[in-house]
């Protein structure tokens, strides 16, 4: 058991729909192996249907692997106790809209096992930080999309997580929310904690990530430092990330 790794995938495969009459199984992930060390901002890239979201779901025990081995924070993937040490933002938030902002943080804090006094302190700090302190007792059903995104960030940070998992965190975000996400990622790294960033926003990846895994058709197409991926050895110069990814996706560059 390696506690220096926040996540390890060893020969992991995931099939959907296997065994259903008249339906061929879909292989979302095939024989994937990599590890993410503590203290790293790790990018998970790839075109649509490459297997990125499936890997996140497997890591968070939202679905089960068909084969292979996964560990999370040094424990088996199905040991749910470690989930309380993770903060998660999904690209399409689905928050209970009848709750107030403060009530939502209290609810999720309790689910993560955070002590009530800590929840109250952290809620006040985070609502102030994301610009929602003056709306804390208002039902979030009345919030704009940008406000909901900032509240989701506060929720992800409430338990002071060892790992932040961001799935397309800046998609459709206003400038304030985007800046807050960047700050949260950089602070997490400074504290020696980890971030997994799933994103099509290449600017976010270039600004934030130390190392990346590029998925294509359920398999790893690249794993390593971002700087190595964007280095063009033939020219002895850096190339745009978009160009590097196009070559991996086997799409002709314009």
pLDDT at 94: 78
- In this prediction the pTM is 0.89
| Cross-strand pairs, 34 | 9
Structural domains counted in the chain: 1
With H, G, I as helix, E, B as strand and everything else as coil, classify residue 137: coil
Read off the CATH number of the domain in which 13 is found: 3.40.50.300
With H, G, I as helix, E, B as strand and everything else as coil, classify residue 22: coil
Q: What are phi and psi of 86, to 5 degrees?
A: -120, 140
Tell me, yes or no, whether 135 lies in a domain. no
pLDDT at 1: 40
- For residue 21, the tally of other CB atoms under 10 A from its CB is 4
Tell me, yes or no, whether 117 lies in a domain. no
pLDDT at 172: 67
Tell me, yes or no, whether 74 lies in a domain. yes
pLDDT at 252: 38
Tell me, yes or no, whether 57 lies in a domain. yes
Range of the domain at 86: 5-95+163-249
Tell me, yes or no, whether 144 lies in a domain. no
Tell me, yes or no, whether 111 lies in a domain. no
71, 5 Cβ separation under 8 angstroms: yes
216, 49 Cβ separation under 8 angstroms: no
Tell me, yes or no, whether 20 lies in a domain. yes
pLDDT at 66: 94
pLDDT at 35: 95
Tell me, yes or no, whether 107 lies in a domain. no
Q: What is the mean pLDDT of each successive set of 10 residues along the chain, which is 254 residues long?
A: 77 82 81 93 92 93 94 91 91 83 94 93 96 94 88 94 88 80 92 92 90 93 92 83 84 41
pLDDT at 2: 46
Q: Please tell me the distance from the alpha carbon of residue 225 to that of residue 10, in angstroms, as a whole number.
A: 20
């Amino acid at each position: 058991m390696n506690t220096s790794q926040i996540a390890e995938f060893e020969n992991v495969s995931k099939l959907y729909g296997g065994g259903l009459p008249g339906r061929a199984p879909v292989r979302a992930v095939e024989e994937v192996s990599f590890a993410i060390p503590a203290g790293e901002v790790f990018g998970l890239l790839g075109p649509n249907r490459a297997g990125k979201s499936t890997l996140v779901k497997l890591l968070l025990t939202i679905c089960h692997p068909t084969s292979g081995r996964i560990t999370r924070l040094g424990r088996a993937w199905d040991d749910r106790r470690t989930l309380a040490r993770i903060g998660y933002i999904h690209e399409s938030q689905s928050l209970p809209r009848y709750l107030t902002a403060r009530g939502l943080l209290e609810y999720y804090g309790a689910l993560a096992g955070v002590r009530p006094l800590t929840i109250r302190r952290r809620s006040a700090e985070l609502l102030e930080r994301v610009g929602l302190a003056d709306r804390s007792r208002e039902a979030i059903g009345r919030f704009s999309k940008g406000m909901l995104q900032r509240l989701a960030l506060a929720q992800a940070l409430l338990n002071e997580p060892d790992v932040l998992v961001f799935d397309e965190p800046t998609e459709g975000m206003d400038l304030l929310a985007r800046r807050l996400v960047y700050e949260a990622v950089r602070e997490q790294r400074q504290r020696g904690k980890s971030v997994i960033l799933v994103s099509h926003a290449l600017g976010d990846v270039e600004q934030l990530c130390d190392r990346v895994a590029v998925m294509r058709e359920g398999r790893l197409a690249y794993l390593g430092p971002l700087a190595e991926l964007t280095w063009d050895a033939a020219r002895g110069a850096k190339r745009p990330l978009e160009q590097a990814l196009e070559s991996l996706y086997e799409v002709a560059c314009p």
